[in-house]
């Protein structure tokens, strides 16, 4: 099988240009993600020293479950939005909440991915790294192609064939970019996170297209 090659720098360049062109849109997404991800914790910390009645405790428990579901929904939405930019389209904020029908496959595939990688690390670490890299695009396949969990993992393994080291180097590059964002007083993450999210969707598309070429 021919190697699936992609350019790391081209991916980052595409992500960077897309982020600059749509910075305010991505900023809104980051704010929404932050509020939904950390909102419950902030409320819990604020009420930590207050003795609440049982009904209030139950309410906050249900509140936490709802926000967990919203986090899953937004994770799917972020992938959908990134893929739309890669395809040359634009997107709207409402697309963050448009993937409800994919949640079950998304959760099941995430659990399977976690188990596979976990057992791989038990097997002398190296298999875990290989599994983590080769199966990593299962989420994109669930969202982009509406695949089931097993099929998504199988296809991810297929499209990454021959690109293991290129993907390892790509993720080291992504880590370095986001570390720079952190070093820039954390504010830099407002630029580096959208850049690398879109860049990763670009890499997925390139590998997916070449596997069908």
Please classify residue 188 by burial: count the beta carbons closer than 10 Å to its beta carbon, then call 0-12 exposed, 13-18 middle and 19+ buried: middle
pLDDT at 1: 39
Does residue 73 belong to any structural domain of this protein? yes
Which residues touch 104 (CB under 8 Å, ≥6 apart)? none
CA–CA dist 61, 55 (Å, integer): 10
User: How many domains are there within the chain?
Assistant: 1
d(Cα 65, Cα 92) in Å, to the nearest integer? 26
Cα angle 126, 131, 133 (rounded to 5 degrees) comes to 100
Q: Is residue 68 part of a domain?
A: yes
Is position 2 within any domain? no
Is residue 3 assigned to a domain? Answer: no
pLDDT at 124: 82
Beta strands in the chain (DSSP E): none
- Whether 144 maps to a domain, the answer reads yes
Kindly tell me the sign of the dihedral angle through the C-alpha atoms of 66, 68, 69, 70. Answer: positive
The model carries a pTM of 0.88
CB 180 within 8 A of CB 172: no
Domain span including residue 169:
8-211
| Straight-line distance from the first to the last Cα atom of the chain, in angstroms, rounded to the nearest whole number | 12
Mean pLDDT by 10 residues, the chain (213 residues): 74 97 96 85 65 63 78 95 95 92 96 96 91 97 97 97 95 97 93 98 92 53
Measure the CA–CA gap between 36 and 187, rounded to whole angstroms.
19
129 falls within a domain: yes
What pLDDT is recorded for position 141?
A: 98
**Alpha-carbon distance 170 to 31, whole Å?**
27
Cα R_g (the chain), whole angstroms:
19
Give pLDDT, residue 65. Answer: 80
Give the pLDDT score at 190.
Answer: 96
Is 1 within a domain?
no
């Amino acid at each position: 099988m021919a190697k699936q090659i992609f350019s790391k720098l081209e991916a980052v360049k595409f992500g960077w240009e897309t982020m600059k062109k749509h910075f305010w849109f991505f900023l809104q997404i980051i704010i929404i993600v932050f509020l939904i991800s950390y909102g419950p914790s902030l409320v819990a910390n604020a009420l930590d020293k207050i003795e609440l009645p049982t009904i209030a405790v139950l309410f906050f428990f249900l509140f936490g479950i709802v926000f967990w579901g919203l986090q899953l929904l937004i994770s799917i939405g972020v992938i959908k939005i990134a893929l739309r930019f890669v395809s040359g389209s634009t997107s709207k904020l409402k697309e963050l909440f448009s993937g409800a029908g994919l949640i079950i496959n998304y959760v099941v595939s995430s659990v399977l991915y976690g188990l596979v990688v976990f057992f791989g690390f038990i097997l002398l670490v190296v298999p875990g790294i290989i599994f983590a890299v080769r199966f990593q695009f299962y989420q994109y396949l669930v969202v982009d192609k509406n695949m089931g969990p097993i099929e998504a993992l199988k296809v991810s393994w297929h499209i990454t064939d021959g690109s293991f080291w290129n993907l390892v180097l790509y993720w080291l590059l992504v880590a370095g970019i986001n570390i720079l964002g952190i070093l820039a007083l954390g504010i830099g993450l407002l630029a580096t996170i959208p850049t690398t999210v879109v860049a990763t969707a670009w890499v997925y598309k390139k590998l997916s297209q070449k596997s069908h070429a």
